[in-house]
Amino acid sequence: MDLTEVLYDDSEGGLDARGAMHSTQHLRRNQYRWFEPNGFFLRQQPPVWILRQEQFDDYVAQFVRRPGLEQLNLTRADDFRAKVASYADISDLTKKAVSNLDR
């Protein structure tokens, strides 16, 4: 049973799904609260660079080229050590699942 499918169902599975979501702290709180203690931290101490996981290798290559640090020859850890997940066998979310997550 997919958690997102039953999230708002009036069933035992729905109750379990809501319990699972509420027991996970980073899902239970609104994202803006993660940064609340630091106020407007992005304005006060802007980041040097924001790297997105989807293009991580490209961003790291750009990052070391800017100050001329190519000689570091950084290489990524193997997929196991880097915790790279494959979602190739995961099916797309159904319309109901997307609606539940939007809700």
> Is the Cβ–Cβ distance between 34 and 26 less than 8 Å?
yes
Residues 7, 34: one domain? yes
63 in a structural domain: yes
Is pTM, for the whole model, over 0.85?
Answer: no
Residues 37, 63: one domain? no
Residues 16, 39: one domain? yes
- pLDDT above 90 covers a percentage of the chain that reads 15
94 in a structural domain: no
pLDDT confidence of residue 81: 84
Residues 55, 76: one domain? yes
* Domain count within the chain: 2
Residues 1, 42: one domain? yes
**How many other CB atoms are there within 10 angstroms of residue 60's CB atom?**
16
pLDDT over 70 (residue 47): yes
> What is the mean pLDDT of the segment spanning 39-59?
77
pLDDT over 60 (residue 1): no
Kindly report, residue by residue over 5-14, the tens digit of the pLDDT.
998 999 999 9
Rounded CA separation 103/88 (Å): 26
Residue 32's domain comprises: 1-46
